[in-house]
Each structure stands twice: as structure tokens, then as C-alpha cells.
Amino acid sequence: MDFKALTASTLGDYLRTLPSIQAQLGDMEALDIVEVGDGNLNFVYFVSSRAQPERSIVVKQALPYVRLVGEDWPLTRHRADREAHALRRFAALCPQHVPVVFHADSAQSLIAMQHLREHLILRKGLISGVVYPQLADHLSTYLAQTLFHGSDLYLDADVKKQAVASTINSELCKITEDLIFTYPFEDHPSNLYSKALPRAAIERLHQPRVRLAAAQMKWAFMNQAETLLHGDLHTGSVMVNQTGTYVIDPEFAYYGPIGFDVGLLLANFLTAYLSQDWQRVQAGQSAVPYQAWLLEQVSGVWTGFADQFLALWAGHEAQATTGFMGSGRDAQSLALYRQAFMRRLFSDTLGFAACELARRTLGMAQVAEIAAIPDAQARALIEIRTLHLAEQLLLQREHIGDIAAVLELARQAQALDGVAA
């Protein structure tokens, strides 16, 4: 069937032809279909059976343009193939944290998946000050499982190279290259920020040493084909409740540097941390306890990820005949290599986190915890802090010893009350 942009009124007829959807929804004679309406790129529908409303699915369709902008921003539908492939791959590696795909149709650029009815977008939960007891544990497990098993530490070299070739996603990578690594570090017309943000705060990101660091991170993003990444792992791509955590929306998936997913996620916990002064005080609460919890998530995600990644690596090598360094079991060389590997991964993570902090402050893809603050002065102060932290992480990424030092830099940024000279 030729591609057709479906709507809430035409989607039902399409779904009724599919046994895999019938198995999920049961009685499909009458369906309730609503477009969710909050995706930037795609159309997302909740579909339920009127006779059995507890049975429901989510359908996502990519059109050949960006939903939020319309036909003025064309974008091929290739992203739906990338998303379907990545959802299936990540679900195979970490089923407890990835929605099940029931049906994927490449010709229609459409995916039908598990409806996470009892889960909320994490960014919204963090704005409301909700504590999720198992969050760091779940997210670090997801990161370790997906990032380790896509890499040369696990896959055969040939399989991995084929995977790199078959997951090329150049259009969406270009969006990241521009929006995360380029525009925040220059005066780009698409940049957006509080009208009260002092020019001096923006210009700190134009310093040659900062632009050098951003260009180095961009190069790493474009050339370090280390593992299959989610590619857009911010807190709007995570759905949560008190007991469960799911990662959705991997349409930016491609083979890139391991630290990219980790760094993006940490940066979004840091924007949440640095905006709590506003969020909690608006809710009539002290910001202090929730900020402490958010910093625990930053350290818990990094430490949990690093520990599990190393454990997967050691476990795999213990039962393989040939390890990455060969068949000799030279414990000292192995330990040295693992230490150097994790050291570089940590620096990469911090560099990517810094670029994400910069783009979430100055770039066009804004985050609600900052952009929705109506008081221009209050918003500008938070922007000064996120930009300060971005600059410190970029410049110091190769010298910061451990995650505790990152938390200390975050606390120093939080204490700022204006732009540093």
C-alpha cells in the first residue's frame, strides 16, 4: 500500500486489518482514537477498544515533515524505521524498560506499541517534585544493557560493522550536530532564551576554548561509532511511575559514542536540579530536599551504569574464548585498559552533558522546567547557572576526577547569583 498520512478517523480501518493488533485490542468494532498532540516530530495516537477500554495501544506515525512546524520543515520518514529497529533491539536487551512493539509498517512509517497507561513523562514528574525510588537503578540498568551489547566489547567485529552501516540516520544526526553542537556556541537566529539573560552569559560560550571543546565533542559524535545509541535520551523520552521506568522514542538511534546517551540524561537531571529554586518555591516548598534527591540521581545513574557496564564486560570476557585484548588472560593489562576506557567514557559523558546543558538553555528545543518560567529575571538566573555549569564541564571534562566533583560543580553553579566576570 502506498504511504498515506493517517488521521484519528482513518487509523481504525487500517488497524482492523492487522491480526497482531486484534490480539491486543480484542473487540475492534468501535475504537476510541485520540491524537496525543505533544510530540514535536510525529503523530502519536492512543487507541482503545470501546467495548474493552482497558485494552489499548499507542500508534506513532512519521510524516515527511516535522509535526510542530509543518511542511516548511521537510524530514524524510526514514526515522520511523530507525525507531522501530531500535525499539526492538533495546527491548530484546532490556525488556523491562522498553515498550513492546506489536506492529511496524515501513511503507506507512508507522509503529504500534505497548501503551504505558500508568506512566508519566519523567520531565513532568521532576517539575512536580515527585521522588521515584528505583529510577537511578532502572536507568543505569537500561544504559549498561543497551550500550554494552551494541559495542565491539560484545558483538563480533563483522556483526558490529554491519550494524553501523545498517543504522545510518544522517538526517536526524544532522539535527543533533546543528542544535546541540553548533548553534548554542554562536549567535544563531534559531536560538531562544530569556530576554533578561545578560549578553555576557551568552558570550562566555563564544570563548575560543569553549568553542574548541564543543567542536571536539561534535567530532566525537560524528566519528566515534561505538554502540547503538538511543540518540535523544532526555527526561522527555522516559516514562515513569513508582515502580517502573520505560525509555521511549529512539528515532535518533545510530552508532555513536557511548557517553552521548549517558551525558544527555545526566544533563537533563542537572537542568531539573538547577530549576528547582523556581519549581519548588512556586509550589510553596523548600527546594533543598528535592535538589539533594536529583543530585543522587546524577551520581546513582553514573555509578550504577559504570559498575554494571564493567560487570557485563568482565562477565562476557570470562566465558569468551578470545577477549577484546586477545586470548591471553593478562589481568594487569586488562585492568589498565578497563580503567583507561572508563576514564575516557567519563570525560566524553561530561562533554556531551555540557553541550546538552548549553542547547537546553540557548537552543530552539527548550525544556519546560526552564522555558515555562514566566518571570524573565528568575528564568535568566537559572540560565546563567546552567550555562556556567556547561562551561565548567566542557573545559574541565578531562580533569574532573569523579562524579562527586560533578555534583560539587553543580552546587557551585546553583549558588551563583549573576554572571561571573
Positions that interact with ligand ATP (CB under 6 A): 36, 38-42, 44, 58, 60, 99, 113-116, 121, 236, 248-249, 251
With contact defined as beta carbons under 8 Å apart, do 276 and 291 qualify?
A: yes
Nearer to Mg ion, 245 or 392 (CB): 245
44 binds, among Mg ion, ligand ATP, none (CB under 5 to 8 A by kind): ligand ATP
> Residue 292 corresponds to which cell in the numbers above?
539533594
With contact defined as beta carbons under 8 Å apart, do 306 and 414 qualify?
A: no
Nearer to Mg ion, 75 or 353 (CB): 75
Calpha distance 410→232 (Å, rounded): 22
128 binds, among ligand ATP, Mg ion, none (CB under 5 to 8 A by kind): none
81 binds Mg ion (CB under 5 A): no
Q: Tell me the closest approach of the beta carbon of residue 8 to ligand ATP, in angstroms.
A: 14
Nearer to Mg ion, 67 or 379 (CB): 67
Between CA 286 and CA 293, with CA 291 as vertex, the angle to 5 degrees is: 120
- Which amino acid appears at position 276 of this protein? Q
SS3 66: strand
Beta carbons within 8 Å of 419's beta carbon, 6+ residues apart = 198, 200, 201, 204, 384
SS3 171: helix
Nearer to Mg ion, 80 or 390 (CB): 80
Q: Tell me the closest approach of the beta carbon of residue 249 to Mg ion, in angstroms.
A: 4
> Residue 82 corresponds to which cell in the numbers above?
530507525
Residue nearest to ligand ATP (CB): 39
- Under rule CB under 5 A, which residues in 132-171 are in contact with Mg ion? none
With contact defined as beta carbons under 8 Å apart, do 60 and 36 qualify?
A: no
Binding mask 324-343 for Mg ion (x = CB under 5 A): --------------------
Helix (H) or strand (E) holding 137: helix 135-149
247 binds, among Mg ion, ligand ATP, none (CB under 5 to 8 A by kind): none
DSSP 236-299: GGEEE-SS-EEE---TT--EE-HHHHHHHHHHHHHHHHHTHHHHHHHTTS-SHHHHHHHHHHHH
Number of residues lying near Mg ion (CB under 5 A): 3
262 binds, among ligand ATP, Mg ion, none (CB under 5 to 8 A by kind): none
Q: Tell me the closest approach of the beta carbon of residue 68 to ligand ATP, in angstroms.
A: 7
Q: Tell me the closest approach of the beta carbon of residue 207 to ligand ATP, in angstroms.
A: 31
Binding mask 5-44 for Mg ion (x = CB under 5 A): ------------------------------------x---
Nearer to ligand ATP, 36 or 200 (CB): 36
- Under rule CB under 5 A, which residues in 375-394 are in contact with Mg ion? none
**Distances in whole angstroms, Cα of residue 413 to Cα of each of 145, 270, 284, 409:** 32, 10, 23, 6
**Residue 286 buriedness (CB in 10 A; 0-12 / 13-18 / 19+):** exposed
Nearer to ligand ATP, 249 or 348 (CB): 249
Nearer to Mg ion, 249 or 369 (CB): 249
Calpha distance 229→206 (Å, rounded): 29
Nearer to Mg ion, 41 or 413 (CB): 41
Binding mask 37-56 for Mg ion (x = CB under 5 A): ----x---------------
Nearer to ligand ATP, 42 or 227 (CB): 42
Q: Tell me the closest approach of the beta carbon of residue 101 to ligand ATP, in angstroms.
A: 10
83 binds Mg ion (CB under 5 A): no
For β-strands 227-228 and 255-256, DSSP reports them as antiparallel
Q: Tell me the closest approach of the beta carbon of residue 39 to Mg ion, in angstroms.
A: 6
268 binds, among Mg ion, ligand ATP, none (CB under 5 to 8 A by kind): none
249 binds Mg ion (CB under 5 A): yes
Calpha distance 56→391 (Å, rounded): 45
> Residue 174 corresponds to which cell in the numbers above?
544532522
- Residue range at the interface with Mg ion (CB under 5 A); choices 132-140, 251-259, 344-352, 407-415: 251-259
**Distances in whole angstroms, Cα of residue 130 to Cα of each of 30, 60, 290, 303:** 37, 28, 8, 22
Query: What does the binding site for Mg ion look like in residue numbers (CB under 5 A)?
Result: 41, 249, 251
